[in-house]
Structure 1
């Protein structure tokens, strides 16, 4: 006798879920194996930074953590990350106790390298779990028979195998995967309408790394809009009488309690000013040693070009224009020669103005989790474009959440391809040693090819994702890399002008990142106008 139709449906669903679990586990194990293979590669000064933090938190009392300055790499992350290092240090002592001595500067024994590398790989388990939760948020959209063309599978690859996380965490050395896992899990909880849990996770994240203040406006507005206001007018505008004081208080209590646990011990010791001075060192200058590809990179180049032209036209005193004053690869303050010099307050105002429209759009109309995610990406990207002393690695803060949008909208997929390719390319100079050259090129090519081909297959019925100008720009990265890595080092200019490859990379990638930022804003405004027209 044939089985009931309902039984077949349930069996099919069970088989589908089992299959999805299988490919996800395969992807996770595959990328974990790759991370293990990258252990012997080059590591940057960030490796010594975190080793020193292990030593500080293990060897010194809490009262001295944010005062210790034996090394130039002082503790400058929020308290939760300090406690994270403290916990790791109690495992590290079983590997090599010498790594936990504050005076052992630049210590990198074999045991130390293995411990720190594996600490990043193991803590990435949280990132893997968060990616799984994010994939569930897009499951059911555009279901395809071919697993390789399903949004969930594509998103899993874009996140788990993200080129930026692989090179920054597992070669250069940092803990961005673990922290990104907290962020993605928080986003997933908001998609699942578990608002308090999402707010709690984000508050915890802020106390691990304060760079996530960039996206705090998106969280604040969305939680107030979607959780504290329990009803809306038919046109989507706010009905103030439905504002829930109880929900607002519960939300505020969760956030305040997290901050109290984090900063409470230091407040009791009267150390809050000292902690904040470490977290916000404004004397480091407008740009990092290697310029992030943002607006200030273009601004600096324009000032430099105008200075050279001014000298040629005898409008400026040649002795007052220092060679390489902004391109010497140093972390320092400098004054612009022609254009107005930028202060931390000016950068803050520019950042605030740039994020304001996206936050305003999110507040005015109820847009749901997808609108929140787009606002989050714009907040991250605006802060990257105009923030003070931005690191090039901060572009990942926008690329990772934009991955979720890329599998739900063809327009967002096109923007993602431009931003991810330009943003990831800008990270290549971080790995400047010869053995890592083929590794970084191969990983970037594989990730970019997969991103373009998989998203193109997902939206094959909606036309090309990129126009001819965007395609031409992305292809332009190929000759740029050949020039920077092969051609320029063979020229006699390398000794006189060693900064040229970094300068060209920053400026060219800044054009792509800036273009993606503008396209995201255009998408927000056009969608808002379309919604208003249809009402």
Structure 2
């Protein structure tokens, strides 16, 4: 375990000079906001376009980092409020280091996961899963090149999951409430926590099964969660700023699709619309939405309209998300059998449904599926198959985040090495092979990623240069990976309902 952490840290340090996105300046600006301004001005400040739009706990986290920047006596301009932004070698070194250090939370969580091994899984398998998370290509791409703090927050999520595995459900719920106040994207998986804690914690157990409902436990759980939110939002409630905070956290004026289509159902919908436009022009169809022609894939984040297919309203995405979570019997099954395995599967499916059908989903949200499904990888050959497909496809879908030339070999090598090391090791620990658990259709689809990668990274530019059909490579990657993600969701729903994501032996009382 220690060697994995050391190697991982060295690799991440080597990535310091790599490409960094505008998120780097976003977080530098948040350091400046929290350092220079009083609390009452944090969610009103707009000198830079990169305004503070994360919940208060993350703002407090940025404030703590800013204090370290000041105490270390680094470049004073790191903490300067400026519209133009600022970057220097010292700034890069400091902020990149802060990501690595904050990710120690993930290291702690994976170590606790490793120690939580029981009769249903071997220590070897737990170690492989822990190593796969610490070296996860998705986190390397998003956090240590593109730049964010996802490893830190997924570490908090994993700590909550470990507490649930150990049967300490109240602590698990409190940690998850803390996580929600770091980043509100985790609201996507909140329904799984709600149903699980209500059934497994708020009901007294008898002979290992929930029996009578406990008002006392409900009050304790509710009070604990409210206390966390009071600590986070209380100052803003007192200052009458809660509407302003929520306006920053939930900007519903953004469109259905992000500038790069996340590989979900709406990518398929948008891709179909573009294909129908070609057909419509060829056959002279009338009544097309002229405003939508040419708008898609242009990087806009306003209202998303379609030329042929019906446009989608936010309420539609909400209804579809709820249906995707309930129509597959996620919650009824969890209610009937509130085991830890069912909770973990439901949590993953909640993230899945929100990613597939949510409004203005970012491609980085695929991690909300990839991280928890890692913990399910050893449950059965079916779970190993799903883990393999979704990990490869999901990580590949993040490649467009790194579009500069030096990062092409880096992202390709990182994903290839992780795939060739982690997946065979997990399969070997389960007395099988990766090729044995994949179907013929799976293998054909995954093999198709090779020509897709070659065309989108090299072939397209040899044929068309850099200024013609410049969004076509993004459309191809998004559409192709969306097929794989949707296929993985169907497979996971089937595996969940058929009991293939539950351990054959459930540790006594662990789920309660």
**TM superposition score normalised by structure 1:** 0.90
Distance 1:286 1:293 in 2: 13
Distance 1:437 1:457 in 2: 30
Q: Work out whether 1:296 is the aligned partner of 2:296.
A: no
Distance 1:469 1:456 in 2: 19
- Paired residues for 1:18-33 under 5 Å: 24-33=1-10
Structure 2 CA distance for partners of 1:373 and 1:206, relative to 1, 3 Å: same
Correspondence for 1:308 among 265, 274, 278: 278
Q: Work out whether 1:63 is the aligned partner of 2:40.
A: yes
Q: Secondary structure at the match of 1:230?
A: strand
Correspondence for 2:470 among 485, 498, 501: 498
Distance 1:391 1:415 in 2: 22
| RCO comparison, higher one (Cα < 8 Å, 6+) | 2
Correspondence for 1:138 among 110, 113, 117: 117
Kindly provide the CA deviation profile for residues 379-424 of structure 1, in whole angstroms up to 9, marking residues without a partner as x: 0111000111111111111111111110232211100111111100
Q: Work out whether 1:414 is the aligned partner of 2:414.
A: no
Q: Work out whether 1:257 is the aligned partner of 2:227.
A: yes
Residues 192 and 331, structure 2, Cα contact 8 Å, conserved in 1: no
Correspondence for 2:325 among 355, 366, 389: 355
Q: Secondary structure at the match of 1:434?
A: coil
Counterpart of 1:168 in structure 2 is 142
Q: Work out whether 1:151 is the aligned partner of 2:121.
A: no
Counterpart of 2:104 in structure 1 is 125
- Paired residues for 1:190-209 under 5 Å: 190-209=164-183
Q: Work out whether 1:405 is the aligned partner of 2:376.
A: yes
Distance 2:299 2:87 in 1: 25
Distance 2:292 2:424 in 1: 47
Distance 2:33 2:116 in 1: 40
Residues 358 and 375, structure 1, Cα contact 8 Å, conserved in 2: no
Report the Cα offset of residue 60 of structure 1: 1.0
Distance 1:259 1:218 in 2: 19
Kindly provide the CA deviation profile for residues 84-126 of structure 1, in whole angstroms up to 9, marking residues without a partner as x: 1111111112212212121253200111111100000011111
Q: Secondary structure at the match of 1:346?
A: helix
Correspondence for 1:187 among 147, 155, 161: 161
Residues 254 and 302, structure 2, Cα contact 8 Å, conserved in 1: yes
Distance 2:58 2:103 in 1: 15
Q: Work out whether 1:511 is the aligned partner of 2:483.
A: yes
Matched residue count = 499
Distance 1:333 1:529 in 2: 39
Counterpart of 1:5 in structure 2 is none
Q: Work out whether 1:336 is the aligned partner of 2:310.
A: no
Correspondence for 1:72 among 49, 56, 60: 49
Residues 217 and 359, structure 1, Cα contact 8 Å, conserved in 2: no
Q: Secondary structure at the match of 2:190?
A: helix
Report the Cα offset of residue 311 of structure 1: 2.1
Correspondence for 1:212 among 186, 189, 202: 186
Distance 2:206 2:492 in 1: 26
Structure 2 CA distance for partners of 1:414 and 1:267, relative to 1, 3 Å: same
Counterpart of 2:508 in structure 1 is none
**TM superposition score normalised by structure 2:** 0.94
Counterpart of 2:76 in structure 1 is 97
Correspondence for 2:421 among 435, 446, 450: 450
Structure 2 CA distance for partners of 1:124 and 1:529, relative to 1, 3 Å: closer
Distance 2:367 2:276 in 1: 32
Q: Secondary structure at the match of 2:66?
A: helix
Counterpart of 1:84 in structure 2 is 61
More helix by share: 1
Correspondence for 1:106 among 60, 79, 85: 85
CA RMSD, 1 decimal: 2.0
Residues 164 and 396, structure 1, Cα contact 8 Å, conserved in 2: yes
Residues 399 and 419, structure 1, Cα contact 8 Å, conserved in 2: yes
